[in-house]
Amino acid sequence: MIRVDSIAALTEQVQHWKDKRFTLGLVPTMGFFHEGHLALMRKAKSQCDKTVVTIFVNPRQFGPQEDLQLYPRDFEGDVAKARQQGVDLLFSPDPQEMYPDGYQTSVSVAHLSQGLCGTSRPGHFDGVATVVAKLFNLVRPKVAVFGQKDYQQLALLQQMNSDLHFGVEIIAHPIVREEDGLAMSSRNKYLTPLQRQKAVGLFEALQHAAGCISETASVPASILITAVERKIMDIEDCVIDYIAVVDALTLRPKENAEPGDVIALAAFFGGKVRLIDNITL
C-alpha cells in the first residue's frame, strides 16, 4: 500500500494510474476505522482497479463548540486496517496541505445543507462539500463510496456531484451496525458502558416507527415522530437533538409519511456524545 501525505505525491500517483487506464475508487474518511469504514473500502475495491482511501480530520466541518481536538485518532491502526483490506493508496494530508495560507474557496449546497444536522451544526456541510470537491478533483475517481448513516451528507454530495458535473458514480453503502443494532460510529468510543448499552434504543425507536407504517400506505409524520420521541425519552442520559420524517431525495419534511421516506434522528448522550441514525420506511 502506498502512503502519501502531499497533494503533489497523490496527483503524481493518480496520473500514473490514469496513464495505465486504471479505474479508481475513492473512500473519504476521518479515520479511526471500524467495520463500517472497512465495508466501504471493500465495496470500492470490488468496483475499480485501484482503491484510494483518505484520512483527514477536516477542521472546516467542526463548529467552535465541537470535538475537533478530541476526535478519536489511531493512525497506525488505521494504516494496518487499510492494508489488510487491500487498499492501494492512503492519502493523509494535514490541514495546511489542504487549506494553505490564503485559501478562500468554499462549496455550499444551499437547500440540502439546511435542517436535520444542519440546524445544530451550521457550516458543517459546507466543510464536507468543500473537502469532498477537492478530493474529487485530485483523485478523479470512477466511483466514491459513502455510508448511509450520514444520510444528509450522502444526499448533499450526490447533489453536488450532479450540479458540478464531477461525473463520479456515488455508491450509497447501507448502514453497518453492531450485533445489537447500534449504528457503527467513531464517536461510540466516547460512550460509557451504560450509555453504550442504552444507545441501541435509538435504532429500536426507529424500528418501532417503521412498524407503524408497515400496514398502510400513509400515516401522519407526527405520529411516527411522537412514537420515536416517546421511546427515546425513556432512555437514561439521552437528549434528543432532532427527529424528522423527510423525503428521501429532497430531504424536505413530510406531513404524511409513506414507504420510501426516511426517518432520521440525532441525540446526545451525557450532553456531549452526539449520535445519528436513520431508517427508510
Question: pLDDT tens across 82-113, in order?
Answer: 999 999 999 999 999 999 999 999 999 999 99
- Domain limits of the chain? 2-173, 186-280
Cα separation, 211 vs 201, in Å, equals 15
Range 2-173 has CATH code 3.40.50.620:
yes
Where does 186-280 sit in CATH, by number? 3.30.1300.10
Strand 169-173, strand 143-147: pairing: parallel
Q: Nearest-CA neighbor of 208 among 234, 186, 178?
A: 234
177-235 pLDDT tens trace: 999 999 999 999 999 999 999 999 999 999 999 988 866 678 999 999 999 999 999 99
User: Mean per-residue pLDDT for 132-144?
Assistant: 98
Q: Nearest-CA neighbor of 142 among 268, 70, 51, 270?
A: 51
Contact 56, 93 (CB under 8 A): yes
How high is the pLDDT of residue 63? 87
User: Mean per-residue pLDDT for 257-269?
Assistant: 96
User: Mean per-residue pLDDT for 52-71?
Assistant: 91
User: Mean per-residue pLDDT for 127-135?
Assistant: 98
160-180 pLDDT tens trace: 999 999 999 999 999 999 999
How high is the pLDDT of residue 216? 64
DSSP-derived 3-state class of residue 115: coil
CA 123 to chain centre: 15
Beta bridge partners of 267: 240, 275
Residue 237 has pLDDT above 90, yes or no: yes
Radius of gyration of the chain (CA): 19
Cα separation, 218 vs 203, in Å, equals 21
How high is the pLDDT of residue 64? 81
Q: Do domains 2-173 and 186-280 have the same CATH topology?
A: no
pLDDT cut 90: percent of the chain above it: 93
Active site residues: 37
Average pLDDT, the chain: 96
